[in-house]
Amino acid sequence: MEIAIIAHDGKKAEMVQFLNEHKSILHQKNITLISTGTTGEKVKKAGFQVLKMLSGPLGGDAQIAARVAEGKCNMVIFFRDPLEKHPHEPDVLMLMRLCDLHEVPLATNASSAALFMKAI
């Protein structure tokens, strides 16, 4: 199973904390993590193996969206910061649209992502 993890700058620490809290599930189920570049760097420093795409503003969100459309990515966990403006918002909306179109589960906060982890 491939899970994409993405976090806006103000949510990267929360993403690392979330992954640490669910480390046993991620290892038991043999899950492959993919991420946008900067999130991937933080997650890698925390000891997780992750396949890094480009940084979100440089096309990483679009790369993950393509994997969703190709049927390679099975779930997306995207900790969005709703209080900040993001220059790559069109890519974010495209990713969310493709998750809906291809019925790929999309969690945008820790509470919904925790429910997904329990369902795995």
Residue 18's alpha-carbon distances to 63, 71, 107, in angstroms, are 23, 25, 12
pLDDT digits (tens, 9 = 90+) for 21-43: 999 999 888 899 999 999 999 99
**100-119: pLDDT as tens digits:** 999 999 999 999 999 999 99
Q: Which CATH number fits domain 2-119: 3.40.630.30, 3.50.50.60, 3.40.50.300, 3.40.50.1380?
A: 3.40.50.1380
Chain centre distance of CA 17: 14
User: Which residues are marked as active site?
Assistant: 61
pLDDT digits (tens, 9 = 90+) for 33-72: 999 999 999 999 999 999 999 998 899 999 999 999 999 9
Parse the chain into domains and list their residue ranges.
Answer: 2-119
Indicate the pTM of the whole model. Answer: 0.94
User: For residue 87, is pLDDT > 90?
Assistant: no
d(CA 69, CA 73): 8
- C-alpha to C-alpha distance for 56 and 87, rounded to whole angstroms: 10
